[in-house]
Amino acid sequence: MHLKGHRRSPHVLLAQHAHLPEKLEKLPMNVSEAISTRRAIKWYDADHKMPEDTFRELMEHAILSPTAFNIQNWRFLRVRDPEQRKAIRAVAWGQAQVTDASELLVLCFDTKAWSREPESYWRNAPKEVQDFLVPAIAQYYEGKPQVERDEGMRSCGLAGMAIMLMAKELGYDSCPMDGFDYEAVAEIVKLPPDYEIAFMIAIGKGTKAAWPKPGQLPLDDVVVEDRFEV
């Protein structure tokens, strides 16, 4: 993006690293560093506003996340209205990040995205690709509400991680949340009938570090080779 192809001298690099861990906007950040330093941050500077350009850049990257059949089933509800924030906080165990973070995103999905002009998702593809893929979409989802729902949760998970890592690069912390009353939030945001909420992400300037990782499983406990029973 705007940082691509930067050619900094080691001297400049050192100077930039001297600013760590207080990342400024436009500092390049490696994927590995973003992954390693991202933590769920609960406390935010309530006075900080995210510049509109930064928000747009964040979201322009979010929508590069993959979706099955390119159905782009995510819908990102950006909650700015302080009254809405308060109402959501009241049904989210009172968690401070809901009102204090610069941005609050409710990641939703349209369970019927696959059926809404699916040909438009492939409009720029070669005709033979369109002819093969577009009819396959309905075959995959039609009459399968659990498959529709799984797809939404997956798509929002994928996009959510892109958002949180991109936020790190842009100098922001984040907190993924599913500790709230889904039905109450749906009512507050007037969620349309075919939509579901996947989770929320608060994004802002963190004011307090996360506690140390509380109890990680070793890699060998979660990676299995070839099959589960040998």
The residues in 65-104 that bind its own copies, with binding defined as CB under 8 A, are 65-66, 68, 70, 72, 74-81, 84
SS3 at position 201: strand
Tell me the C-alpha to C-alpha distance, in Å, between residue 200 and each of 72, 163, 179. 18, 11, 9
Position among 17, 48, 86, 144 found at the interface with its own copies (CB under 8 A): 17
Tokens 């050619």 -> residue? 7
Residues contacting its own copies: total by CB under 8 A: 105
Nearer CB in complex with its own copies: 160/205: 160
x/- track of binding to its own copies for residues 18-47 (CB under 8 A): -xx--x--x-xxxxxxxxx-x-x-------
Is residue 194 at the binding interface for its own copies, with CB under 8 A as the rule? no
Is residue 188 at the binding interface for its own copies, with CB under 8 A as the rule? yes
Is residue 127 at the binding interface for its own copies, with CB under 8 A as the rule? no
Give the closest residue to 27 by CA, choosing from 2, 51, 50: 2
Position among 64, 94, 127, 128 found at the interface with its own copies (CB under 8 A): 64
Is residue 139 at the binding interface for its own copies, with CB under 8 A as the rule? no
Is residue 10 at the binding interface for its own copies, with CB under 8 A as the rule? yes
Nearer CB in complex with its own copies: 28/184: 28
Position among 45, 91, 115, 149 found at the interface with its own copies (CB under 8 A): 149
The residues in 206-225 that bind its own copies, with binding defined as CB under 8 A, are 211-217, 219, 222-225
Tell me how many degrees the CA angle 209-214-217 measures, rounded to the nearest 5. Answer: 135
**Least Cβ distance, residue 43 to its own copies (angstroms):** 14
Q: How many CB atoms lie within 10 A of CB 201?
A: 26
Position among 98, 165, 200, 202 found at the interface with its own copies (CB under 8 A): 165
Mind spelling out the 3-state secondary structure of 48-100? CCCCHHHHHHHHHHHCCCCCHHHCCCEEEEEECCHHHHHHHHHCCCCCCHHHH
Tell me the C-alpha to C-alpha distance, in Å, between residue 149 and each of 84, 130, 152, 162, 180. 26, 24, 5, 20, 19
Do the beta carbons of residue 173 and residue 41 sit within 8 Å? yes
